[in-house]
Chain A
């Protein structure tokens, strides 16, 4: 274990938190095995590891939701065998979760002080709204918020909502803020804002644990990186040793041969398969969008969250009605009344929210895969379980879906395998156009590489692939061309030789690329 020699010099300051030999087992699984780490005041720890490495268990232990079997947790000099939720909050540990816990119908101030509202004098215990806002304002200033305390949360962007969560953490005088995948749904510019907030916390002497799959962000913000693998400390990287390849190496225990990147296109792209002509969507009803995706290419669609990318995808898939303009498929006009029409035309969507719209968690792998094409798995309208199993077995083999059998409930699978099931249901039919909205969000590195490989294979088979992604590395590493959206319109299309983070970013904020 090399955590102690990670940053000699700073070790004179007592750590705010240290874990020693923490072990936690669940039925059949050792989630954490003799794990040790420490966090010093004002230090930003990047915590990385593949899904299943034990990060969530560690968070549950720190949050007091569960207690370790053995090991010691020392917070602020006091040793505990395990924390309770009250002890965790009381000692100044605050969480900002991936899924935000805000009340959308309340304003910012009410959210920050929820359950701890200042009250007016008198027996009615009325909330002192004016004081609520005066209390909230300085907190918002500390996180660099550009909105006021009486803004309704529903009007805020995701990054702004995260600022509210962090302000909430500050309001309980947090000394350690744990951010769990805070940037996974944030676009570029907003991510920058969040990273600035982390730096501001650090400057105030507040410690931060930053958990992320986006390694380049960890690189930018962390003072030290702690890598978890299979419940154990795989290694610690001091500031000067933090780089992408080192982190990946520790995470998976070997170097990835191909960096998470799809292979180069095997052939030049063909004719335009699906195109939107002056299509207007609910995101920006007065801004027409023109976009065409060609056979055999992966067209990356970048842009800030809220730039209208998801709405465009929904229109192309027939889920949302276009407010104007026209769609063309292979040069002929196409009218989509529903997703069923799109599916009938070979236009498939792998949606952004896997669990809500991608698959049915309660159905088996086979039932999910056959669902869009059920009549083909039926005789005289009666479903043939055997036909379903045949199709599913084939897809399970081709995509390498890891599951005991095709009868396994998809809800029990890992994120990466669930995403493969979503892909499998479309691959089992014959796609002409495949739209993927954030296809690798929350998926670990190994599965990511496989999904990129599948997308490339589809393109090479002549399918037009449209990939929406907020992950810069992904957009640049995978796409053949990149279209960038800005406030409802395509602000530019980059060819391979123009690819750079800078150019994508410039277009995303509406400026011209270099």
Chain B
């Protein structure tokens, strides 16, 4: 765990302690379970986003994809009678195809990630609304999918299964990002795509793979969100979720220029965001201020982090002077 991650963890614990003192209901099992369920749902989304951001890209269509694939998933199993073990992988594949399309447009046709995914944001939202004729997709009364519901909205030993899913995914993705050849390529491309190309890395494929990973994880979270809300109105479902995901990554130490950030960071970023949401509810802050609180905290976090970096650099310089050894070159 890096110092940055540790700082974030301490912040989470301090904020948690303060909220718990002001309103002890924060620590009630029901509140913790609800919050960790939301952490699970948004965490899966944020990990996908992180893989794209590490390459220096961005994925803005996440919220609309959550709406579109959520609508499709509910439609498949609730009205079209598709078995959920078939529908679930099908939705994941669709998410992968969306990611592949974005990756292809970005790496082969050299379009900017912001533009491609902004168009995606608009297109998928529109398609989702058209698909249901702007109606709400949901389950009929008494319609039940016990196994699916257990896996998505259920709990094991009081812990939401969505949160457990996040932990499993996080461990796997941690290995991929921080230990695998692919992960090293992602960092190399994020830091300097040209130099990576000149080292013989097929950068186009690697970047495309990052968008596919993002697409698949977004699809998975779309299923979780669908099973959590159980009814989806395609005009508003998933709105701003891309921003939650990006905010979590930024809070977790990711640079939007690429090449920087850790998996633990993005998870902690998600935790802090959900903690803040919870704080707004529990402390009786008007919920209209929700976004303002989040924005303020992210801004302060980024500022502190940046100032800390400046301070550390200065201290290193001083130390080098004291030791009298060559710390900085003359030229």
Q: Does B184 belong to the interface (CB within 8 Å)?
A: yes
Whether B180 pairs with A383 at a CB distance below 8 angstroms is yes
Whether B198 pairs with A28 at a CB distance below 8 angstroms is no
A114 to B202, CA, bound (A): 42
Q: Does A363 belong to the interface (CB within 8 Å)?
A: yes
Whether A382 pairs with B179 at a CB distance below 8 angstroms is yes
Encode B174-192 as 1/0 by CB contact (under 8 A) with A.
0100011111110110011
Question: Nearest CB to that of B194 among chain A residues?
Answer: A357
Size category of the binding interface on chain B: 35 or more
Q: Does A72 belong to the interface (CB within 8 Å)?
A: no
* Interface window among A128-136, A334-342, A392-400: A334-342
* Interface window among A257-265, A370-378, A460-468: A370-378
Q: Which of B182, B192, B197, B259 contacts A381 (CB 8 A)?
A: B182
The number of residues on chain A lying at the interface, defined by a beta carbon within 8 Å of a beta carbon of chain B, is 43
Whether B184 pairs with A29 at a CB distance below 8 angstroms is no
Q: Does B2 belong to the interface (CB within 8 Å)?
A: no
Residues of B contacting A349 in the complex (Cβ-Cβ under 8 angstroms): 198
Question: Nearest CB to that of B179 among chain A residues?
Answer: A382
Whether A57 pairs with B195 at a CB distance below 8 angstroms is no
Residues of A contacting B320 in the complex (Cβ-Cβ under 8 angstroms): 27-28
Residues of A contacting B175 in the complex (Cβ-Cβ under 8 angstroms): 382
Are A339 and B259 CB-contacts (below 8 A) given A374-B185, A383-B184? no
Q: Which of A30, A339, A344 contacts B197 (CB 8 A)?
A: A339
Q: Does B201 belong to the interface (CB within 8 Å)?
A: yes
Q: Does B127 belong to the interface (CB within 8 Å)?
A: no
Q: Which of A342, A343, A344, A360 contacts B192 (CB 8 A)?
A: A360
A383 to B183, CA, bound (A): 9
B116 to chain A, nearest CB (A): 22
Residues of A contacting B185 in the complex (Cβ-Cβ under 8 angstroms): 374
B 179-226 contacts with A by CB, 8 A = 179-185, 187-188, 191-192, 194-202
Whether A28 pairs with B191 at a CB distance below 8 angstroms is no
Q: Does A84 belong to the interface (CB within 8 Å)?
A: no
Q: Which of B184, B325, B331 contacts A28 (CB 8 A)?
A: B325
Are A54 and B327 CB-contacts (below 8 A) given A357-B194, A360-B192, A360-B196? no
A27 to B325, CA, bound (A): 8
Q: Does A269 belong to the interface (CB within 8 Å)?
A: no
Whether A340 pairs with B325 at a CB distance below 8 angstroms is no
Whether B199 pairs with A361 at a CB distance below 8 angstroms is no
Whether A371 pairs with B199 at a CB distance below 8 angstroms is yes
Q: Does B34 belong to the interface (CB within 8 Å)?
A: no
Q: Does A20 belong to the interface (CB within 8 Å)?
A: no
A178 to B303, CA, bound (A): 39
Whether B328 pairs with A26 at a CB distance below 8 angstroms is yes
Are A338 and B202 CB-contacts (below 8 A) given A29-B327, A382-B180? yes
Residues of A contacting B321 in the complex (Cβ-Cβ under 8 angstroms): 27-28
Task: Using CB atoms and an 8 Å cutoff, list the residues of chain B in contact with chain A.
Answer: 175, 179-185, 187-188, 191-192, 194-202, 259, 317-318, 320-321, 323-331
Counting from the closest, the 7 A-B pairs by CB-CB distance are A343-B200, A31-B330, A27-B321, A28-B327, A56-B331, A357-B198, A371-B199
